[in-house]
Amino acid sequence: MTSHDNATGTAATAKRVLVGACGNGQGHISLQIPTVRQLQERGHRVSLVTFGDGLPPLAGAFSQPVPVAVPTHHPGSWLAMTSDGVDVPQSAANAGALDPRGDAWNFALCEQVMQQLGGAPDVVLTDYEPASAQIAYMLGSRLITLEQQSKFLLYRTPDAGGYTREAEAARLRYFFPAADERIASSFFPLDWERDERYTGRIIEPVLRPEVLALTPEADETSVVVYLSPFGPTRQSLDKMLQILSESRGDVKFSVFTKASIADTPANIEVRPFDRDTFTSALASCSAVITTAGHAVLSECVYLGKPALTVPFDVYEQQFNGMMVEQLGFGANTQELSPEVVRDFLARRDEYAAAARALATRRYTGDSAGLWDSLGL
């Protein structure tokens, strides 16, 4: 799949559509930029809500103007979590510390969006972005959640890395307590019991058009390392670079990160994150070492790339890393070591074969015609 079949068709009725994209990291916005383009091509009037890391990729992203609204505050800025749910006292303290003059309930944001669209949105489509959902609730707009997190609401998935499903489910209930439709993507099969309290559907992962167009190769001397800016890892970047350098001197590690490093070992190249450069490197590398975000792992599966995951201390990433190992297309570790990296690289062929086999099972075209099925 990807970028939704029938993307260039024409919708039966043009609508005002608000697209929300979480701005923690660039995984969400990289998928919603094609969504906005497709909705415009189908004749809809589109506005976008995002923040943080979601803003830089918008420069030059659209051939037609797309108004962007940025929330002053969003629930994620004050919500604190424990390993199995919401930390209510800390969340209350965080909320109380926010600037009281800010638009904490997003009324001003709602007014801005209505001005941009020429009225209330007919449809709000959100990729894990809570402020856009608040607008849907305020105005009675049809709300569609389209992301990957909701599968943890729909299925009773097991614990992972000392974290429980309830941590992610609680966050989803707080951000998106109701939705007209919940659509979740997954790079792994969901073989667990459904939670009958929630309705929704699962589709294959949504991929960027740039990834779909790639012809992957495997340069055995090249390994891509992606460290998402969203959260901290258990080891410092300097320590991780040292470990990578010591693990295999005959391999070049291309490290994509926001951090600025002055001096690096000869076989380490630190690059500022750029979507086009990263995509090109991903196509030609022999393996990927990465934090355990769903978007990058979905791309690894599609391209047949082995993955060594170093997950953040949150349930979703711990679960993704666990599934990489269980499905056999890579390894999962809480901390890097030269031995872990060497063992992973020694099994690249085995992992790559498993990734390709998984891709044939997961990328089946089951999301074809998604916009038509949603009346968009």
Q: Tell me the pLDDT tens digit for each residue of 24-63.
A: 888 899 999 999 999 999 999 999 999 998 999 999 999 9
What is the reported pLDDT for 33? 95
Residue 88 domain flag: yes
Residue 9 domain flag: no
Query: How far, in Å, CA of 294 to CA of 77, rounded?
Result: 21
What is the reported pLDDT for 1? 45
Query: How far, in Å, CA of 131 to CA of 141, rounded?
Result: 13
pLDDT digits 0-9 by tens, 273-306 = 888 999 999 999 999 999 999 999 999 999 999 9
What is the reported pLDDT for 336? 97
Name the pLDDT band for 10 (thresholds 50, 70, 90).
Answer: low
Residue 4 domain flag: no
Q: Which tokens hold the place of 281? A: 């490197």
Residue 290 domain flag: yes
What is the reported pLDDT for 20? 98
Q: Please check whether residues 79 and 130 belong to one and the same domain.
A: yes
Share of the chain above pLDDT 70, in %: 91
What average pLDDT does range 104-131 have in this prediction?
92
What is the reported pLDDT for 280? 96
Q: Please check whether residues 47 and 187 belong to one and the same domain.
A: yes
Return the HEC string of the chain: CCCCCCCCCCCCCCCEEEEEECCCCCHHHHHHHHHHHHHHHCCCEEEEECCHHHCHHHCCCCCCCCCEECCCCCHHHCCCEECCEECHHHHHHHHHHCCCCCCCCCHHHHHHHHHHHCCCCCEEEEECCHHHHHHHHHHCCEEEEEECCCHHHHECCCCECCECHHHHHHHHHHHCCCCCEEEEECCCCCCCCECCCCCCEEECCCCCHHHHCCCCCCEEEEEEEECCCCCCCCCCHHHHHHHHHHHCCCCEEEEECCCCCCCCCCCEEEECCCHHHHHHHHHHEEEEEECCCHHHHHHHHHHCCCEEECCCCCHHHHHHHHHHHHHCCEEECCCCCHHHHHHHHHCHHHHHHHHHHHHHHHCCCCCCCHHHHCCC
* Nearest CA among 7, 50, 60, 49 for reference residue 26: 50
Q: How many Cβ atoms sit within 10 Å of the Cβ of residue 236?
A: 11
What average pLDDT does range 189-211 have in this prediction?
95
Q: How many Cβ atoms sit within 10 Å of the Cβ of residue 158?
A: 10
Q: Please check whether residues 357 and 368 belong to one and the same domain.
A: no
Judge whether residue 77 has pLDDT over 80.
no
* Nearest CA among 115, 127, 126, 194 for reference residue 154: 194
347 or 235, higher pLDDT = 347
Query: How far, in Å, CA of 352 to CA of 23, rounded?
Result: 31
Geometric angle at alpha carbon 152, from 151 and 153, rounded to 5°: 90
* Nearest CA among 314, 275, 315 for reference residue 296: 275
Angle separating helix axes 294-303 and 315-327, nearest 10 degrees = 20
Q: Which tokens hold the place of 67? A: 């108004």
Domain count, the chain: 2
Q: Please check whether residues 194 and 237 belong to one and the same domain.
A: no
Q: Please check whether residues 38 and 72 belong to one and the same domain.
A: yes
Worst-scoring range by mean pLDDT, 148-157, 265-274, 275-284?
265-274
Q: Please check whether residues 202 and 272 belong to one and the same domain.
A: no
Q: Please check whether residues 191 and 231 belong to one and the same domain.
A: no
Residue 291: give the domain boundaries: 210-362
What is the reported pLDDT for 190? 97
The residue behind tokens 């660039």 is 26
Which CATH number covers residue 157? 3.40.50.2000
Query: How far, in Å, CA of 192 to CA of 59, rounded?
Result: 41
Q: Please check whether residues 152 and 251 belong to one and the same domain.
A: no
Query: How far, in Å, CA of 256 to CA of 13, rounded?
Result: 42
Indicate the pTM of the whole model.
0.90
128: alpha, beta or left? (left if phi > 0; alpha if psi -120 to 50): left
Residue 6 domain flag: no
Q: Please check whether residues 224 and 114 belong to one and the same domain.
A: no
Residue 3 domain flag: no
Q: Please check whether residues 187 and 256 belong to one and the same domain.
A: no
Residue 287 domain flag: yes
What is the reported pLDDT for 8? 53
Judge whether residue 228 has pLDDT over 70.
yes
Q: Please check whether residues 35 and 170 belong to one and the same domain.
A: yes
Residue 335 domain flag: yes
What is the reported pLDDT for 103? 66
Judge whether residue 142 has pLDDT over 80.
yes
Worst-scoring range by mean pLDDT, 108-112, 258-262, 281-285, 307-311?
258-262
What average pLDDT does range 212-227 have in this prediction?
95
Judge whether residue 4 has pLDDT over 60.
no
The answer to whether the CB of 134 falls within 8 A of the CB of 106 is: yes
Q: Please check whether residues 331 and 197 belong to one and the same domain.
A: no
What is the reported pLDDT for 106? 80
Judge whether residue 78 has pLDDT over 80.
no
Please list the residues that pair with 69 across neighbouring strands: 49
Q: How many Cβ atoms sit within 10 Å of the Cβ of residue 194?
A: 12
Worst-scoring range by mean pLDDT, 99-103, 167-171, 214-218, 340-344?
99-103
